[in-house]
Amino acid sequence: MKTSERKVISNRKNAQKSTGPRSELGRLRSRRNALRHGLAIAIGSDPSFSEDIESLATTLASGRAGQIVQEFARQVAEAHLDLVRIRQLRAERLVAVVGNPDVKLEDYSELNNNLAQLERYESRAFSRRKRALLALSKQ
Amino acid sequence: MVRAVVRRSAITVPPALVPLFNQPPLVGEEKREDYEKLFLAIVATIKPSDTVVWLLARDFADLTWEIAREKRLKTQLIKLTEFDVVSKLVSPITPTFLPPDMSIGMGKKLAKQWAGDPKARQSVINKLADKGYDASDISTLAMNRAAPEIEVIDRRIGTYELRRIAAMKAIEQYSEASARRLAAASTDVIEGEFTEAVE
């Protein structure tokens, strides 16, 4: 269902009111968000991925001309590489439990909490790629 | 049963994607060879003709792999909880003058026999029966205890399954024929029921 014009305007207006965390502790905590797993940093702004993104975007756009195609191809590449890095991170976190002979029941609950943190990033990356793929397929 | 036959020589990953496919997200003792077999089976079924379809095929493989891993994780959790339940049920009551660790240690020893030593298992089963517990009680107690974590794992499996369906739909946007072939063979591919014919 398409969001109504009125709703869009209202969302924008409300977003202007948002100032993020206000308390000193909240600001300190949010400042450290990106350092925990690096996923809060957009993959496109991470120089260690720029070469991979460019290379994949070029492959995706090959045979098709136009700046719009390049832009959508880049969006697909960014979202796909984001999914790849999230899955790598998930695998790293699973090592603590999968096949560990000394695993304890508490480790499962910790793992589930850890994976839930990654899930929201994966869900966003998946939606971003879906939208970009749809846009690319229409070009 | 229809089986997808994978011929390695017939499949060539586009060179630009090789570095990207170089590091499948494996965990612990998972074998790269097994992952590649799964991926090859999917690729052999889809026959990607476009870079996007190659990416989606990889996605389909990753998700299939992760679903299987989550199912193993669930089984591992249930077994561990059963072990814990048995070790508590067979723990002797510790006299107050002894540290409680002693009874826990004894319980774990008996639970290890129950889990891994077929000969000693029966004597532990008898001990449990003396206390009024049978195999179904152990399963029920374990499932109750692990229920919150099992629910989270089940939710993850559900999410990955939905994403896999979404990947299949996205393949359909690019190549209807590929998606049709994948849908027809997906039971084989998903359950890993394929044979490999290396030329």
Q: Which two tokens stand for residue A130?
A: 């879906």
Which of B20, B25, B166 is the closest to A87 by Cβ?
B25
Question: What pLDDT sits at residue A11?
Answer: 80
Bridge partners, B122 (sequence order): none
Residues of chain A with C-beta less than 8 angstroms from the C-beta of B69: 94, 98
CB contact under 8 A, A109 and B149: yes
Largest CA distance in chain A: 57
Chain A residue numbers touching B152 (CB-CB < 8 A): 112, 116
Residue A66 has pLDDT above 90, yes or no: no
Q: Do B16 and A55 touch (CB under 8 A)?
A: yes
Count CB-CB contacts under 10 A for residue B82.
21
Residue A54 token pair: 């460019």
What's the angle, vertex CA B63, arms to CA A75 and CA A118, rounded to 5? Answer: 65
The answer to whether residue B196 scores a pLDDT higher than 50 is: no
Contact B64, B25 (CB under 8 A): no
Given this model, what pLDDT does residue A44 score? 81
Q: Which of A94-98, A130-134, B51-55 has the lowest mean pLDDT?
A: A94-98
In angstroms, the separation between the Cα of residue A120 and the nearest Cα of chain B is 12
For B149, the closest of A108, A119, A134 (CB atoms) is: A108
Instruction: Return the pLDDT at B26.
Output: 93
* Annotated domain spans of chain B: 5-196
Give the mean model confidence (pLDDT) for residues A89-105: 85
Q: What is the pLDDT of residues B173-183, one digit of tens each?
A: 887 777 777 77
* 3-class secondary-structure state, position B148: helix
Contact across the interface for A112 and B25, Cβ inside 8 Å: no
**What is the percentage of chain B residues whose pLDDT exceeds 90?**
32
Residue in B closest to A52 by C-alpha: B20
Above 90 in pLDDT, residue B85?
no
Q: Do B73 and A97 meet the contact criterion of CB atoms below 8 Å apart?
A: yes
Q: What integer best gives the mean pLDDT of chain A? A: 84
**pLDDT higher than 60, residue A50:** yes
So what's the pLDDT on residue B5? 47
Phi, psi of B6 (to 5 degrees): -100, 125
More confident residue, A99 or B73: B73
Contact status, residue B195 vs residue B8, Cβ threshold 8 Å: no
Distance from CA of A3 to the nearest CA of B (A): 22
> Would you call A87 and B84 a contact, using CB atoms and an 8 Å cutoff?
no
Alpha-carbon span B90 to B108, nearest angstrom: 9
Print burial letters for A50-66: b (CB count within 10 Å at least 16), e (below 16).
Answer: eebbeebbebbbeeeee
User: Does B104 score more than 80 pLDDT?
Assistant: no
